Structure 1
Amino acid sequence: MKSFVTIGEIMGRFCTQGFARFEQAVPGTMAVTFGGAEASIAALLARLGNSAAFVTALPNNPIGHACVTELRAMNVDSRQTVFVDDSRLGLYFVEQAVGARAGQVIYDRDRSAFATTSADRYDWEAIFANADWLVITGITPAISKLAAEMTCEAIGRAKRSGIRIAMDMNFRSKLWRWDPSCSPAELAFRWMSKLACEVDVLIGGVDDFVNRLGFPQDEKTALPTQILNAYENVQHVVLTRRSGSGGEQRFSAELHSRDQDPAVSGTANITSVVDRIGTGDAFAAALIDSLASDRFSSAIDTIEFAVAACQLAHTIPGDFSLIERSEILEAMAGSSAGRIRR
């Protein structure tokens, strides 16, 4: 069993009922849950049988403590949570995509407990005492300057301790606004290109590699190959692609490994989408679980396991992927669709 640490912000998630628009839902009733990419990754890593810790800062009030209760219920280690007096929980509001209509997210994260907590508030020795892997995303440094500096501190300490690092690029265009001297795209490039130099596993889409890391779209040389040539520390590059509508999705991924040629890929055609949010996190968690443990003897099984987890996550409302390893393996084999277990 491997031990993982994820670091980021967990938020209150307010989602309209059904496919209602915000102006139909407010005033009214919305579904309130907790969500956030790094917490979602930790939750699935724990469900897959790993030791998974999630590190964050929360308001020292009943809502913050309710969030910790939720994490513990999913077997996520939250002992290194920093509680901040007189602070607030970050929020986000969701309007689901349907048909040709795109989904919409509104963030309310400014001055949250996590955004205003500096790196020196965290007990880094305790956080990494037994860790094998650190998992981060590009969302965390986008939140605030303090969060970006904390991400760098976490990566530096993990590297010095010999801990492997995985990063999902996860660009959020509505974030990266904490430095008014440059555009969000410029700020993201400045920080993400620096962070990518330190990681072992890099996950992203074409836009992430081109716009956040500055690699050209050269038809003669695949983007992942360019990254492996440029960053000697990166052992695996995973290129993801997504297309479709609100109700149907096509998700594919390619795994490019330094020690293996050629690359391997997996694809899922997903119908009857229930909730898209958190599905990329399910892919990342299942992929890292397999890479960390050498669970599969073939690279193609590794990528297909991750794609199957992503496929299943589309069927579950909310950020957290409440799925089991056995279900993912059944989805890989194509033996579970439409069945009722009884």
Structure 2
Amino acid sequence: MNEQHNILSFGELLLRLSSAGETFLGEGNGVTVFPGGSEANVAASLGQWGLRCSYMSRIPDNELSKQVIQVLHKLGVDTTPCLLEGDRLGLYFLLSANGLSKGEVVYDRKYSALSQLEPGMIDWDSVLEGYTWFHWSALTPALNTALAEVCKEALVAAQRKGLTVSVDLNYRNKLWNYGKQPIEVMPDLLQYCDVVMGNIWAANKMLGTAVLETLGRDTPADVYFEHAAQSAREIFDLIPRCKHVAYTFRFMDSPTHNLLYGTYHDRESNFISTIHETNEVVDRIGSGDAFMAGLIYALIAGKPGQEIVDTATSAGFKKLFVKGDFGDGEI
């Protein structure tokens, strides 16, 4: 393991409220609360795996926030970069206990502390001092124009300081509601990225890469692999700086079923993981973030291409059996 790396993950810290019943309404259903947020999930995994990792968000200075960042601290994540400002944490409601159905997420993120960040409020040159790797996701510029500009500030500073930059192309259509489409915002931001992770459909939404409408649940893995390789080639052409692309393929046929595999691409080669399948899913939330963390871990470790995709996919698969948004300590 290359101990020289020091990673900063930046994004919105969220609270997840999960119903213990079919809905939040009615007596006796109960609600379970978990800390989460894509970038925090990545940091939680990296911290547990022993990498030097910090997490930065903007959160209110209250006891609830302190309890949440204490959880991250216990998992090995340095939370000192967090800005204790603003009035409220962002929330999301999961209308099931474990994310085992579709269309069940309701966001409550407007007017959160992070959503009210403005350009010029963070001295990114100072914040990034001492770090070698900066991680962010498409969820942040999805919230508003100001946050897209804040991301641009961070990325310019990261490039100036020579950091490796990774991004998760998380696409949530419920978040892009301020008059901009991802294709209008993301191409410029992605020019600063060395590592791009997501799926072929998110890449299409954010970069305009090709994806066939005929692809579906029954498309064989080898066909998806061919399309992933072509999509990655398009990304390499569009982003001269990019050196690594990874995609996940996740299919759910029932509440407890999940089929998961991944692909990894550099500018010379393409790799596909073992196909993982289970009918015993505990919690689907955060599996993509665990994949992202596994990808970072494998790249830092200098693993060869096949081991990179196998490590990332294994991490994503293991998360399916862990309650809450954060993964566990296995890699």
Q: TM-score, normalised by structure 2?
A: 0.88
Mapping 1:98-247, distance limit 5 Å? 101-102=101-102, 104-179=104-179, 182=180, 187-217=181-211, 222-245=230-253, 246-247=255-256
Deviation, structure 1 residue 96 = 3.3
Shift of 1:146: 2.4
Judging changes above 3 Å, is the alpha-carbon distance between structure 1 residues 101 and 285 closer, same or farther for their aligned structure 2 residues? closer
Distance 1:41 1:255 in 2: 18
* Gap runs ≥5 in structure 1: 326-342
Rounded to whole Å, the distance in 1 between the matches of 2:74 and 2:102 is 33
8 A contact 2:19–2:29 mirrored in 1: no
Kindly tell me: are residues 178 and 262 of structure 1, through their superposed partners in 2, closer, same or farther at Cα, counting changes over 3 Å?
closer
2:22 corresponds to 1:16:
no
Shift of the alpha carbon at 1:68?
2.0
1:272-299 CA-to-partner distances (Å, cap 9, x unmatched) read 11111111000000111111230x2x31
Quote the residue 1:4 is aligned against: 7
* 1:311 equivalent among 311, 317, 325: 317
Partner of 2:280: 272
For this pair of structures, how many residues does the alignment match?
Answer: 313
- Show the 5 A alignment for 1:86-105: 87-96=87-96, 101-102=101-102, 104-105=104-105
Q: Label 1:268 to 1:81 Cα distance change in 2 as closer, same or farther (>3 A).
A: same
Q: TM-score, normalised by structure 1?
A: 0.85
1:88, CA displacement in angstroms? 0.9
- Structure 2 unaligned spans of 5+: 213-225
Cα shift at 1:100: 8.8
- Aligned partners of 2:269 and 2:141: how far apart in 1? 33
Show CA shifts across 1:103-134 (max 9, x none).
Answer: 51111110000100224333423421111111
The answer to whether the 8 A contact 2:54-2:79 is kept is yes
Residues in 1 aligned to 2:129 and 2:29: alpha-carbon distance in whole angstroms = 46
After superposition, the C-alpha distances for 1:194-229 in whole angstroms (9 at most, x for unaligned) are 222221111111211222211223789811112112
Q: Which amino acid in the other structure matches residue 69 of structure 1?
A: Q
Alignment partners' CA distance in 1, 2:119 and 2:47: 25
Deviation at 1:10, TM superposition (A): 0.7
Q: Distance in 1 between matches of 2:323 and 2:272?
A: 30
Cα distance change, pair 176–26 in 1 and its aligned pair in 2 (3 A):
farther
SS of 2:232's partner is helix
Alpha-carbon distance in 1 for matches of 2:23, 2:281: 20
For 1:26 and 1:10, the matched residues in 2 are separated by 29
Compared with structure 1, are the counterparts of its residues 25 and 108 closer, same or farther at alpha carbon in structure 2 (3 Å cutoff)?
farther
Is 1:261 aligned with 2:237? no
* Whole-angstrom distance in 2 between the partners of 1:150 and 1:133: 17
Instruction: Supply the distance in 2 between the matched residues of 1:233 and 1:26 (Cα, whole angstroms).
Output: 54
* Aligned counterpart, 1:57: 58
Aligned partners of 1:254 and 1:266 also within 8 Å:
no
SS at match of 1:203: strand
| Separation in 1, partners of 2:40, 2:240 | 29
How far does the alpha carbon of each residue in 1:170-196 deviate from its partner, in whole angstroms, 9 at most, with x for none?
Answer: 0011101123xx5xxxx2111112222
- Compared with structure 1, are the counterparts of its residues 310 and 24 closer, same or farther at alpha carbon in structure 2 (3 Å cutoff)? same
- Is the 2:23–2:96 contact (alpha carbons within 8 Å) kept by the matching residues of 1? no
Verify the 8 A CA contact 1:82 1:121 in the aligned structure 2: no
Task: Describe the superposition over 1:289-312 as per-residue Cα deviations: whole angstroms up to 9, x where unpaired.
Answer: 111230x2x311111111111111
